[in-house]
Amino acid sequence: MKSPASKKQKKYTSKKPIPTENSIPQIDFLDTLNVFFKKFASLFFWLGLGMTILFSLLLFDLKVSDGGDDSSYIVRAYEFIENGVFPTYQGPLYPMMLSVIVLFFGVKVGLLKLFSLIAISAQYYFLHKTFKNRIPEAILYPVLLIISVSSSIFYFSSQTYSEGFFMFLQSLFLFLFVTYFIDKKIQLEPLKIQIKGYLFVALAVFSLIWTRNVGLAVVIAIGLYFISYFEWKKLLLSAGSIIAVLLPFELFKKLIFKVEGVQFGTQADGLLLKNFYNPAQGYEDFAGLIQRFIENSHLYFSKHLFVFMGFKQDDFPQISPNLTWLIYAICLVALIFAYQRNKTLFFTILYTGVISVVTFFAVQSHWDQPRLIIPLYPLLLIALLSGFYFLLKLEKAKRFQILFLILIFVIFGASFKRTLTKVQEHAPNLQASLSGNMFYGMTPDWVNYIKMSEWIAKNIPEEEMVAARKPEISFVYSGRGFYGVYNVPTMNPDTFIASLTANPEMKVVAVNLMQISENPQLQIFQSISAPYLHASLNASLLSEDYRVLDSRVLGVYLVPVSVLDSMMMLGNSLGIEFVDEIPSLVHHFLSENWQFAIHNPDEMLNELKRENVRYFMLASLRKNPDINNGEIITTLHRYIYFIQLKYPNIYEQVHSIGVTEPTTLIKLNLQKY
Q: pLDDT, tens digit, for every residue of 551-601?
A: 888 999 999 999 888 988 988 888 888 888 899 998 888 888 788 899 999
Cβ–Cβ < 8 Å for 314, 425:
no
Pick from 366, 342, 165, 170: nearest CA to 281: 366
277 in the same domain as 390? yes
Pick from 294, 38, 56: nearest CA to 152: 56
- Tally the domains of the chain: 3
Beta strand ranges found along 459-560 (DSSP E) = 465-468, 483-484, 506-512, 533-542, 548-560
- pTM for this prediction: 0.84
Q: With bands split at pLDDT 50, 70 and 90, how would you rate the model's confidence at 450?
A: very high
Task: Give mean pLDDT, residues 486-497.
Answer: 91
Q: 564-569 long-range contacts, Cβ below 8 Å, gap at least 24?
A: 564/507, 564/509, 567/509, 567/528, 567/529, 567/532, 568/509
Residue 212: φ, ψ to 5°: -140, 135
Residue 329: partners with Cβ closer than 8 Å, 6 or more residues away: none
**609 belongs to a structural domain:** yes
Q: What is the pLDDT of residue 8?
A: 45
Using a pLDDT cut of 90, give the percent of the chain over it.
67
Residue 42: φ, ψ to 5°: -60, -40
Question: Which residue intervals of 28-148 are DSSP H helices?
Answer: 29-39, 41-58, 69-83, 93-105, 109-131, 137-147
d(CA 8, CA 4): 6
Question: In which domain, by residue range, is 381 found?
Answer: 272-400
344 in the same domain as 371? yes
**Over 60: is that where the pLDDT of 147 sits?**
yes
- Say whether 185 sits in a helix, a strand or coil: coil
476 in the same domain as 623? yes
User: From the CB of residue 203, how many other CB atoms can be counted at a distance below 10 Å?
Assistant: 17
**158 belongs to a structural domain:** no
Give the CA dihedral 627, 425, 447, 625, nearest 10 degrees. 30
**55 belongs to a structural domain:** no
323 in the same domain as 378? yes
656 in the same domain as 575? no
614 in the same domain as 511? no
Residue 26: φ, ψ to 5°: -90, 130
Pick from 479, 428, 427, 432: nearest CA to 453: 479
610 in the same domain as 477? yes
Strands of the sheet with 663-668, listed across from one edge: 483-484, 465-468, 613-618, 663-668, 651-657
- Say whether 393 sits in a helix, a strand or coil: coil
Give 551's strand partners: 540
Cβ–Cβ < 8 Å for 382, 349:
yes
624 in the same domain as 607? yes
Give 533's strand partners: 557
Cβ–Cβ < 8 Å for 159, 61:
yes
612 in the same domain as 555? no
Q: What is the pLDDT of residue 94?
A: 95
Mean pLDDT of the chain: 89
**Over 50: is that where the pLDDT of 466 sits?**
yes
449 in the same domain as 347? no
335 in the same domain as 369? yes
Q: Which of 148-162, 276-290, 467-481 has the lowest mean pLDDT?
A: 276-290
- Look at residues 546, 578, 593 and tell me which one is the last residue of a structural domain: 593
**217 belongs to a structural domain:** no
Cβ–Cβ < 8 Å for 255, 267:
no
Q: What is the pLDDT of residue 11?
A: 44
589 in the same domain as 618? no
Residue 598: φ, ψ to 5°: -120, 120
d(CA 116, CA 371): 14
